[in-house]
Amino acid sequence: MPRRRTPSSTGSSSANPPGPRNRTPQPVRVRRRTFGDVVKAFLALVALVGLLVGVPFALASQVGWPLPSEAPSLAWLEQEITVGTFLDILAFVVWLAWAQFTACVLVEVKAALSGVGVPGRVPGAGPSQLLARQLVAALLLVGATAASFTPGLSQLGQSLEGNRSGTVAAAQQTPGLFAQQQEQAAHTAAALAEQASNVAAQADDGSAAERGDTKYYRIQPPEGRHHDSLWEVAERHLGDGRRYKEIFELNKDRVQPDGSRLSEASLIRPGWIMEMPGDAVGGELVELPDEAPDVSPDVQQQINEYAGTGDRAQGGGQQGGGQQDAGSSHVSVPEQPPAADRPATHQERPEQHAAAPAAESGRSFGLPEALLGAPLLAAGLLGALGHRRRQALWQSAIGAVGGRRGMEPPTPTGDALDVQDALLVGADPEGVRLLDLSLRGLAASLAAESRPLPTVYAAWLSNGDLHLQLAQPAGKPPAPWQLGQDQTFWLLARSDAERYEDVDTAAPYPGLVSLGTMDDSRLLLNLEAVPGIVSLSGREADRAAVFASVAAELATNGWSDRMTITLVGFGEDLTPLAPNRLRHLDGIDDLIEAMEAETRQRRGALGAAGHDSVLTGRTGPAQHTRWAPHLVLLATEPSADEAVRLAELAADAGRLGIGYLVGTDSAELPGAAWEMEITAAGKLVAPLLGLELDAQSLPPAQQRAVVELFVDADPERGPDGSGTAPPFLVDVSEQGRPAVYARLVGSYEIIGLETPDGERSALLHEALALLLLHREGVHPRVLASALWPRGVTDDVREALLERLRDWLGADPDGSSRLRTDATGRLMLAKSVVSDLDVLRSLYHEATQGKGVDNRAVRGRLLTDALVLVRGPLLADRPEDRYRWLTHEIIDAQLPLLVADIGLALSAFHLEKDRAEKAIEALDASLRTAPADERLWHELLRATHSTGDTARLRALAADLLDRSGARGLPPRTEALLDELLPAWRDGVAAAG
């Protein structure tokens, strides 16, 4: 939310009782100083005079200036080192210490007199600056300016570490999940300033309580996009926004005039009364028991009543459901059930978060943690990668790319292999599916009730449940949704989400993107709904990792339809992830020019359609227009003028479906509605929003590896000659009989092993199937994630591997058939073979081996291969197992391989005019690959070669019936026109 630059609020609130607000400055009492304060100030003055004046006077009179009075010559280096030389060096060090202390005193005096809450740091002057602060504070204790500055004198001489630890402990004990603060780069100075403010406030509070003088502040109504916050109240009236915790503690759980209670520091409402620390200053405060003539009787009565609900010791009370004011731009965490009541979720998988053993060497367990902890990003990347690989297979099969006929994508190595494994382990495709079904189901339900989509600022995924945080209350949600902790939260339980079915409606909130986690909750910010620019500050490298994560998830997520993502200042290499979504611009000038034109176009289109926002266009009769979002990710900091122009464009962006995320080196960006910072420790903090998350990021090494996976799978890449051979070839001669043979193509059968006893048999079979489909090796964590999607501990995984080794046994040479390679990945011995391995090897030998020059061998190999095809892969697998197959592309590889075998065998027979044999081979292939257009074309040609027109016409009718409402593909129609010109009339007559 934007920082308020004015010292006071303006406006009115119709939601509060009538009566003017107190806008006349009221006199603020200054605590009277005691004789002890005067004595302390006098002693501090003496100490300062002694240190600032006495030390240099003594040095000048007793030692003199230690440096030579003239430029030293070479002979000076040859002089003898005497006691005087050491004294001069010591004197010079003392002079430097005095100069440093003097600078500290000047900095602290300036900060105290100017009212700055956090004085600047003097480099290398930790203890010196602490001493200077203590002395200056004691000296100014008799003045009014020290009230928000003075630390307790009892702390004099304590170490910096002690002060720091106290502050950190206090921050950790702050009630409420969002009452946390970002750790500043100048942490020590900030901690000292905060401690000083707390001590001074406590001293003044005690004095005020003795006299009965208490100050109160009334939360102001919103002005435009600005909403009052405790941070800004503390910043205006206490000199330091970080002191908002003091206000929170004074008012927590006390009954407000509207009957609600303050339960979280980020949830306040206009009209609430806040008791303030005794050192609060400013014209908006009301001080009791003094009369405040400019405060209405109603407001004065509210304050008097509120004053009786608590005391300085924080009277107890039941926690209420404090509610955010309408239109607020705060982001709050949903309330959590007790940990013992929460079901296990993907994010809580023990195996996923198990730390790598310190003793492990190599890369055996060194998977990228950034992707392991980003289940939605990993699922999106994995799904997009699988789609890209399937697309490459199909284009390869139809010869669209220069004769490239590789049935296997390139096997990744190095970092790309680690990243692929991390995607397999970390991905939560079920979570993505449920999120998409939930959001579209909500949109469909609202459209059925003729209700508009509410503006959603954020979504929280918490222990399987989905919480939508609305910009303002929108009434009761449609079933099975229910109200959450207050009117601005809509909640959908995971059990209800699982009952949703696919609906034909536009994605309502495609701009949601993961930013990070807090405890067990994952935050997705709706970038297109933010009322202005979202700024991201921090180190450039840290910002770049966050920008890359946001861009990658937006480009590949599963809960959006069409989208445009413009990258400026980074990400040119990310475009292979989604060329249809991602576009890269070179500079900010190009961006502003493009966005000015699009902003005008969108405003005009909304006006012409009669919609007030893109949300209206995404539901009801107009949903076909989709109103796709346009999200701008600008990593380069704009100039002041450019920032102003961007702010003007973003002022109406939320209504138009445009979002801006802008990087900045400084803490503030002109026009920023929400300000975030990424710290060196990986925390994403936004104090004004009350956020402190473990940031989701995509570091450069993982970014390059992800892009490598997509580039290698690009269907537009030319042939490289290396992908035509399968990764594992077996001996297809009579001498090549394996020790263990598994049938996967069709029903699952194993020959050569005894069936395991007990309930673990199914688990062992599934583990073996996974290893057989990945002859290149399987990471142990990938295996565990596949077998136990909800998580497993290391000891259970290791126990399974030990049982698997025992079951598979050993080869005659004594080596285990389950082995581990140099990277720690699990591999099967060559004596363990599947029918899929044989199928690939037979086809390879027939088309690229002995069968190339020997026609008889080629026919025998192709016939043997086709006989192995008994149905789809693992045809009888249980529904609750083998879900990892959704990540695989074997479901696309196997039909293409069978189709290639059928086509090759058909061509073999047609060379000798054996049309019936060719038709038989094609029919056998179509049972496994019924959607392969190439098989139907060859079947039409083979049938035509028989000269049986009636048979050809019947085949055309069968093809038309199979195609359904979509009709025949254009190339099939063209072929039928060539082979059977009157096929349309014949089909119509048959129909």
pLDDT at 866 over 50: yes
CA distance 670 to 107: 28
Confidence (pTM): 0.65
- pLDDT at position 130, please? 73
**Average pLDDT of the residues in 572-599:** 90
Position 279 confidence tier, pLDDT thresholds 50, 70, 90: confident
Least confident of 174-188, 499-513, 914-928: 174-188
Q: Is the peptide bond before 621 cis (omega within 30 degrees of 0)?
A: no
Average pLDDT over residues 861-888: 88
pLDDT surpasses 90 at 546:
yes
CA-wise closest residue to 817 among 900, 881, 912, 753? 753
Of 130, 70, 72, nearest in space to 100 by CA = 130
pLDDT average, residue stretch 920-939: 89
pLDDT exceeds cutoff 80 at 361: no
User: Of 5-19, 360-374, 437-451, 621-635, where does mean pLDDT reach its minimum?
Assistant: 5-19
Q: Is the pLDDT of residue 520 over 90?
A: no
Residue 439 has pLDDT above 90, yes or no: yes
Q: Which residues pair with 468 in a beta bridge?
A: 459, 490
Q: For residue 778, list its beta bridge partners.
A: 826
Is the pLDDT at 706 greater than 60? The verdict is yes
Res 159 pLDDT > 50 = no
What pLDDT is attached to residue 755? 86
Q: Lowest-pLDDT range, 144-148, 230-234, 767-771, 872-876?
A: 144-148
| Greatest extent of the chain over all pairs of C-alpha atoms, in Å | 124
Only one residue has tokens 């006077």, namely: 57
Q: Using CB atoms within 10 A of its CB, is residue 18 exposed (0-12), middle (13-18) or buried (19+)?
A: exposed
Length of the chain counted residue by residue: 991
- Rounded to 10 deg, the angle between the 414-426 and 375-397 helix axes is 120
pLDDT grade for 56, boundaries at 50, 70 and 90: confident
Name the least confident of 55-69, 281-295, 329-343, 811-825.
Answer: 329-343
Strand, helix or coil for residue 177:
coil
Q: How is residue 541 written in tokens?
A: 């490298």
Name the nearest CA neighbour of 584 among 623, 622, 517, 636: 636
Q: Is the pLDDT of residue 265 over 70?
A: no
- CB environment 77-89: b (16+ within 10 A), e (fewer): eeeeeeeeeeebe
CA angle (774 as vertex; 769, 777 as ends), nearest 5: 115
Q: In the beta sheet, which residues pair with residue 522?
A: 461, 517
Task: Determine how many CB atoms are found less than 10 A away from the CB of residue 624.
Answer: 7
Element (H, E) at 771: helix 761-773
Q: Which of 453-457, 604-608, 682-686 has the lowest average pLDDT?
A: 604-608
**Confidence label for 111 from pLDDT (cuts 50, 70 and 90):** low
- 118: DSSP letter: S
Could you tell me the CA-to-CA distances from 814 to 73, 694, 725, 802, 829 in Å, in that order? 82, 49, 30, 16, 12
Q: What is the pLDDT of residue 851?
A: 86
CA distances for 933 relative to 10, 197, 386, angstroms: 70, 77, 21
| Mean pLDDT, range 666-689, rounded to an integer | 84
Q: What are phi and psi of 24, to 5 degrees?
A: -90, 130
Give the least confident one: 220-234, 515-529, 851-865. 220-234
Calpha distance 991→984 (Å, rounded): 10
As a whole number, mean pLDDT of residues 542-564 equals 93
Higher pLDDT, 964 or 675: 675
Q: Which amino acid belongs to residue 548?
A: A
Can you tell me the distance from the alpha carbon of 847 to that of 844, in angstroms, rounded to the nearest whole number? 5
Closest CA to 426 of 474, 370, 386: 370
pLDDT digits (tens, 9 = 90+) for 380-436: 999 999 888 888 777 776 654 334 444 566 788 888 889 999 999 999 999 999 999
Would you call 819 helix, strand, or coil by DSSP? strand
Percent of the chain at pLDDT exceeding 90: 28
Phi-psi region at 874: left, alpha or beta (left = phi > 0; alpha = psi -120 to 50): left
**Closest C-alpha among 164, 153, 116 to residue 131:** 153
- As a whole number, mean pLDDT of residues 765-772 equals 93
Residues with Cβ within 8 Å of 119's Cβ and at least 6 positions away in sequence, in order, are 107, 108, 110, 111, 112, 133, 189, 193
What is the DSSP secondary-structure string of 919-969?
HHHHHHHHTT-TT-HHHHHHHHHHHHHTT-HHHHHHHHHHHHHHHGGG---
Cβ contact 352:785 at 8 Å: yes
- Give the three-class secondary structure for 281: coil
Of all helices (H) and strands (E), which one includes residue 918? helix 915-926
Predicted local confidence at residue 195, as pLDDT: 42
- Mean pLDDT, rounded, of the chain: 76
Residues 343-358, mean pLDDT to the nearest whole number: 39
- Tell me what pLDDT residue 142 has: 54
Helices (H) and strands (E) in the chain, counts: 32, 22
Is the model's pLDDT at 17 over the cut of 80?
no
Q: Would you say residue 647 has pLDDT above 50?
A: yes
Determine the Cα–Cα distance for residues 575 and 707; give it in Å rounded to an integer: 9
Contact indicator for 632, 659 with CB cutoff of 8 Å? yes
Question: Per-residue DSSP letters for 569-591?
Answer: SS-GGGGGG-TTTEEEES-HHHH
Which residue is it, tokens 């005691």? 34
pLDDT (0 to 100) of residue 193: 40
Question: Per-residue pLDDT averaged across 542-570, rounded?
Answer: 93
CA 955 – CA 957 distance, rounded (Å) = 5
State pLDDT tens for residues 71-96: 555 555 566 666 667 677 777 778 77
**Structure-token match 């009801």, residue found:** 620
* Closest to 192 (Cα-Cα) out of 219, 217, 146, 161: 161
Q: Quote the CA–CA distance of 849 and 842 in Å, as a whole number.
A: 9
231-245, 577-591, 712-726, 966-980: least confident range: 712-726
Give the C-alpha separation, 609 to 603, whole Å: 10
Residue 479 gets the label, from left (phi > 0), alpha (psi -120 to 50) or beta, of beta
Which of 332, 182, 267, 190 minimizes the C-alpha distance to 694?
A: 182
Please check the confidence at residue 723 and state whether its pLDDT lies above 50.
no
Separation of alpha carbons 17 and 761, rounded Å = 72
pLDDT in tens, 785-814: 999 988 888 889 999 999 999 999 999 999
* Joined tokens for residue 263: 């339960």
Tell which phi-psi region holds residue 747, choosing left (phi > 0), alpha (psi between -120 and 50) or beta: beta
The Cβ-side half-sphere exposure at 512, using a 13 Å CA radius, reads 29
Percent of the chain with pLDDT over 70: 72
- pLDDT tens column, 450-466: 888 899 999 999 888 99
Mean pLDDT of 907-925: 91
Q: Is 964 left (phi over 0), alpha (psi -120 to 50) or beta?
A: left
**CA separation (Å) from 488 to 23, 327, 491, 563?**
31, 10, 10, 27
**pLDDT of amino acid 744:** 93
